[in-house]
Amino acid sequence: MDGRTGMMAPDDGTTLRDLFETLRQGAVSRRRAVVALTLDGELLTPERQDILAGRKPGEFDLLEVRTADPVQFSLATIDGLQAHLQNMVKTHQDVTAAVTAGEYGKTLDKGDACFQGWDILLRAVRDVGFICGADFKKIDAGGRTMDLRIRQLQDVLLRFSSCLEFKDVARVAEIVDHELRLRLEDWKAVTDALRLHVNRQGGRS
C-alpha cells in the first residue's frame, strides 16, 4: 500500500472518494491503516479530502499513500496527546496571566493558541477512533461516554471561536478559566480510555 502511484482515470464516474475508500479497504485487508494521503504534493487533511471527494482521479498526477500498523500508530498518537495535554495546562495559565496583567492583545493570542491546542486534541482523538474502529458511544471516559465528551467540547469550542473572532477578551478569559481548564482532567480520562480500547483491539492487556 505504501508508496506512490500515477493517477490514472479508472472508469467514468469514479471519484477520489471511491479511490480513497478503496485504498482504506485494501489497507484494512492487510491489517494496516492509511495514515496519510498526499495528492500532487499536498498533504490532504480530512476536510480537504471531503472538498476533493467528487473530483476525478485523472485530474491529478500523483498520489502518495502512507500506511501504518493501526495499533502501534494509535498508541504512539495517544502518547503524544497525553504530553500535549500537559503542555496545554501552561497555555491556559498564560491566558489568565495575560488578562490579569491587562495585556489584551496577548490574551487573544494565547487564547488562539489554546483553541488550536484543543482542536489538535479533538482531531487526533477522532482519527485514532476511526483507525481502530472505536464506538465512542460505548466507551466510558471518567463517568461519561467519549461521544458526550466530544460533543460537549465541540459546543465550548464553537462559542470560544466566536469570542476570539469578535475579540471579546472578557469572554475568552471566562471560557478558558471556567470551562476549558476544567476539561483538561476529563480529557486525560478520554485518552486513558482510548488507550485501553486500542490495547484491547490489539490483544494487549
- Full-prediction pTM beyond 0.85? no
Are 49 and 20 within 8 A, CB to CB? yes
Please report the pLDDT score of residue 1 as a whole number.
46
How do residues 95-130 score in pLDDT, each as one tens digit? Answer: 999 999 999 999 999 999 999 999 999 999 999 998
Nearest to 42 by CA among 24, 60, 17: 60
Q: What is the mean pLDDT of residues 51-77?
A: 94
Which triple of cell numbers denotes residue 193?
A: 480510555
Lowest-confidence pick of 24-33, 37-46, 177-186, 189-198: 24-33
Please report the pLDDT score of residue 11 as a whole number.
64
How do residues 143-169 score in pLDDT, each as one tens digit? Answer: 999 999 999 999 999 999 999 999 999
How do residues 14-58 score in pLDDT, each as one tens digit? Answer: 899 999 999 998 888 888 999 999 999 999 998 899 999 999 998
β-strands 62-68, 3-6: how paired? Answer: antiparallel
Alpha helices in the chain, H assignment, sequence order: 16-29, 46-52, 70-100, 104-131, 146-165, 169-175, 181-201
Are 145 and 137 within 8 A, CB to CB? yes
DSSP 50-97: HHHTTS-GGG-SEEEEEEE-HHHHHHHHHHHHHHHHHHHHHHHHHHHH
Q: How distant, in Å, are the alpha carbons of 12, 105, 109, 164 from that of 98? A: 57, 9, 10, 15
